[in-house]
Amino acid sequence: MKDFWLGLSVLSLGLGLGSWLDVTPWGLVTAVVSLLVIYVFQIDRVTRTGRRLQTQKSGHSGWVVPLAKKIQDLRFGLEEEISELRDSESKSREQSRSRRAALEGAVAEFRSLIDTFPDGLMIIDENEHVLQWNPVAGKAFGLSPALDKKKPVRQIIRAPEFDALLDHSGSEPIEFWSSMPVPRFFSARVFALQNLRKLVQFQDITRLRQLEEVRQDFVANASHELRTPLTVVHGYLETLIDHAPDETKSELRHIFGQMHAQTTRIKRIVEDMLVLSRLDKESEPLEEQLNIREALERSREEGEMLSGGKRHRITLDIAVDSVLRANREEFDSVISNLISNAVRYTPNGGAIDISWWVSSEGGYLSVKDTGIGIDRQHIDRLTERFYRVDVARSRELGGTGLGLSIVKHALSRMDGELNVTSRLGEGSRFVCRFPVNRLN
């Protein structure tokens, strides 16, 4: 509007002046030219102002724009990474959730397995402190989580046998009495776990033990009760045979003879059963220092007496004189059973060699014969009670079927072991090993 009024005024002024001077066209032309000049100036000013502003603006854009661009790029990049991270985070969260669920499932399964396990289980750490136990173990030893967690296991179970099991971590189970909270008899084993931890497995065998005691008592009592009447009958039979009038029929004599032989056999069985009962019952036999040479000389003489008319050649070879810590009766029953077997199962005139030697592994007692031998399939079972390769032959020769089980039992009480090698028809060898710590 301002420019319009300016233009109108300049044109009117040009027209007025032209008509007054009487040169109207020139006045109009001058006014138009003047207006043009004014407009050109105005355009020039506007253009310069615009350029200045442009210059000012482009002066900032030298670092602001790239920076802004970079920031924007960075932001976009970051947003992208954040969204990727979010994606992978949610993915890994899902993965770890499912892994955790699987682990929790496995742990719950393991827990329920342990909880329902019929044996007692206890986990102890490297310092033998109790970490966990299942309900069976908790009940057996009266454990409470508040009082007994992290408690030394030896304070919970006070038994020297259990201490030895922890010290040696053997795979063989041990048996022990635990008096707390009530007296119970346990069998225990230890298994090594990761991180030096150990798993202790317990079995309450109190009932089994009681039954075993009842059985042992029964055998011991029955043998005792049988022994006296048997001795009486046996003695009377001997008297009858010795003092039978001459006119007694030979048939009757034969019957007396048979009765005497049978009572002799029963007497032997009863005696062997009493020996086994004693070995079962007596927990700590009286031990002494036995002179091996003397003991074996005596046994050899007994063997010769036993052999009698069968004329076996019995030799004794002692490589080194030794003294053995053992119960005399038990040691004698080992050697006499081996020699009497050798005499019994070796044909007339055969050889029986008794020998003793010592090595770094211990002392060895061997009884070797040139008898009937034993088939391989029977060897592992020879020490079972009443196990005989040939029942009729054993009976005929006066065997009881208990000799080798007495040998094995007596040896185990001396921490020894029996080894049998034999060849059918060629002979047998029975070797007893006694541990080094029993030798002097």
Single out the segment in contact with ligand ADP by CB under 6 A; choices: 13-21, 220-228, 249-257, 371-379.
371-379
What's the Cα-to-Cα distance from 305 to each of 98, 309, 346, rounded to whole Å?
Answer: 83, 9, 15
Single out the segment in contact with ligand ADP by CB under 6 A; choices: 65-73, 230-238, 295-303, 402-410.
402-410
Question: Measured at CB, which residue is nearest to ligand ADP?
Answer: 403
Told to check if 388 binds ligand ADP by CB under 6 A, we report yes
Instruction: Pick one of 226, 389, 431, 439: the residue that binds ligand ADP (CB under 6 A).
Output: 389
Told to check if 165 binds ligand ADP by CB under 6 A, we report no
DSSP codes joined into one string, 239-259: HHHHH--TTS-HHHHHHHHHH
Of residues 230 and 404, the one with the C-beta less far from ligand ADP = 404
DSSP codes joined into one string, 155-188: HHS--HHHHHHHHH--SS-EEEEE-SSS-EEEEE
* H and E: helices and strands count for the chain: 14, 12
Query: Total residues contacting ligand ADP (rule CB under 6 A)?
Result: 22
HSE-up (13 A, CA, CB side) for residue 317: 12
What is the nearest approach in angstroms of ligand ADP to the Cβ of residue 306? 13
Instruction: Pick one of 382, 414, 418, 432: the residue that binds ligand ADP (CB under 6 A).
Output: 382
Instruction: Pick one of 163, 175, 390, 417: the residue that binds ligand ADP (CB under 6 A).
Output: 390
Is 387:401 a contact under the CB 8 Å cutoff? Answer: yes
How many CB atoms within 10 Å of residue 389?
A: 17
Q: Classify residue 350 by burial, with Cβ atoms within 10 Å: 0-12, 13-18, 19+.
A: buried
Is 27:15 a contact under the CB 8 Å cutoff? Answer: yes
Told to check if 299 binds ligand ADP by CB under 6 A, we report no
- Which are the contacts of 108, defined by CB distance < 8 A and separation ≥ 6? none
Interface characters, 345-364, with ligand ADP (x: CB under 6 A): x-------------------
Q: Would strands 313-318 and 198-204 be described as parallel, antiparallel, or unpaired?
A: unpaired
Of residues 185 and 345, the one with the C-beta less far from ligand ADP = 345
Instruction: Pick one of 203, 333, 370, 394: the residue that binds ligand ADP (CB under 6 A).
Output: 394
Interface characters, 312-341, with ligand ADP (x: CB under 6 A): -------------------------x---x
Told to check if 343 binds ligand ADP by CB under 6 A, we report no
Instruction: Pick one of 18, 303, 403, 416: the residue that binds ligand ADP (CB under 6 A).
Output: 403
Distance CA(304)–CA(310), nearest Å, equals 9
What is the nearest approach in angstroms of ligand ADP to the Cβ of residue 381? 9
Is 142:181 a contact under the CB 8 Å cutoff? Answer: yes
Instruction: Note the residues at the interface with ligand ADP (CB under 6 A).
Output: 337, 341-342, 345, 369, 371-372, 374, 382, 387-390, 394, 399-405, 428
